[in-house]
Amino acid sequence: MSSLVVIDYEAGNLTSVIRSLKALGVDGAVTQDPSVVAAADRIVFPGVGAAGKAMATLQRLGLDRALKDSFQRGAPILGICLGAQIILEFSEENETPCLGLLPGRTRVLPQSPGLKVPHMGWNRVRFLRPHPVFVGLPPEAEYYFVHSYYPAPSQESMVLGLTDYGVDFPSALGWRNLAATQFHPEKSGRFGLRLLENFLAWDGSYAE
């Protein structure tokens, strides 16, 4: 059986991820060890918190290099929330240079009349193109969000889903063996579980 790891870079949100994986019959190893990440067949990269602190911790633990190497070798990776933001080159939060797995930058959510930032609660995702991780998710499904920033890849083809919160912001990304969601599938009920189940079955291949 293939090995699955959940990366612990002191950015929280691990318990609900592990609980959801166990609900699907999968035991993921929570790790801070770069060698364990380097050997994993599949990686979940969750997180909540600030980009600056997160990147500092990843670098201190050597997990930044392990993630980059795992991406290059083709291991399927799922980024969640903060893990969907710091995969880009730069974050406006703390003016932080990030992992650079995808080209682009993470931007602050603009203030819109009648809408509070952070964006917190349930919202829909308008999927733009098919992807194995997002197959079978109905258009009326809602997912749980809590964030003040959003990932903005520089290549439009990498944006797989948009969410309306005063502006249309990218909420689902995909390129090569990397998929990412600004929302929390592990907190999004049965449709979030379906997404995680899709990821567990995904071989990491994706044709744009």
Dump the DSSP string for 73-138: HT--EEEETHHHHTTSSEETGGGEE---SSSEEEEEPPPBTTB-SSEEEEEE-EE-S--GGGTT--
Catalytic annotation, residues: 81, 184, 186
CA distance 8 to 198: 22
CA angle 1/39/88 to nearest 5° reads 110
Q: In the numeric block, which tokens belong to residue 153?
A: 């890849």
